[in-house]
Amino acid sequence: THKIFQRLDALTLKSSKSLVCVFVSVCGSDPPSPQAGLLLDVDGVLVRGGSVLPAARRAVLKLVDRKRRFVLPVVFVTNAGSCQRDRKAQQLSDLLHAQVSPDQVVLSYMCVQINVLGFHRVLSIDQLVEQHPLLDMVDHNRRPETPQLPAIEAIVLFGEPIRWETSLQLLTDVLLSHGRPGLVHAPQPGKQLPVLACNTDLLWMAEAPCHG
């Protein structure tokens, strides 16, 4: 066991925040057969962004044989959870020049089994945005394209709208954009569009609401 720890000490990455969690088991008593395994953190320890830390690659090369297979049980653990295990395993294989199988990868979300919690229908953020594109106030490129209407040249008020606040907001947008409400408001729209009001009386006699 002492020799195993000496070998692992030689693999320590001096530039990393943390490298390995070692578990050692001794099977049998005569003669002892030491077996060691490694739990390797990924982001910031083995790789940084899309690049492998030089010391990490040298350490991994000492853990694989000529066929790039690990000579000890090795598991890669990461807080990342934005991809599937097989994709992460392929990324690690390409970056570390070693054979990493999906069974050797532990992602952050693997501790939660949705079906065990009682949920059977899962909705992702992308699916939510697809169904409700106007909810995304950051990425406007996902919003559906609206047909371009011809420029509005005049406003005619025929009667009393049911919702004044809606009509006033849209009419204000039309006036500020000089007839093109789909565009950014001009700081100085210039000549105002003509507004023809058939009835300018916004107050009239009506029945008062009765409560109680």
Q: Which two tokens stand for residue 57?
A: 């690659």
| The predicted structure's pLDDT at residue 192 | 86
Q: Which ranges of 78-200 does DSSP label H, i.e. alpha helix?
A: 85-96, 125-131, 164-176
User: What is the per-residue pLDDT across 98-145, written as a single tens digit (0 to 9) for each?
Assistant: 999 999 998 887 777 656 667 777 778 888 888 888 888 888 787 777
Total domain count for the chain? 2
Q: Which domain holds residue 186?
A: 155-197
Q: Are 168 and 105 in the same domain?
A: no
Number of other residues whose CB lies within 10 A of the CB of residue 101: 14
Q: For 140-162, b where at least 16 C-beta lie within 10 A, e where not — what string?
A: eeeeeeeeeeeeeeebeeeeeee
Same-domain status, 164 and 105:
no
CB 59 within 8 A of CB 71: no
Q: Which two tokens stand for residue 43?
A: 């982001």
pTM: 0.49
| 31 and 100, same domain (yes or no) | yes
In a 10 Å sphere around its CB, with 0-12 CB exposed, 13-18 middle and 19+ buried, how is residue 187 labelled?
exposed
Question: 76, 111, 146 — which closes off a domain?
Answer: 111
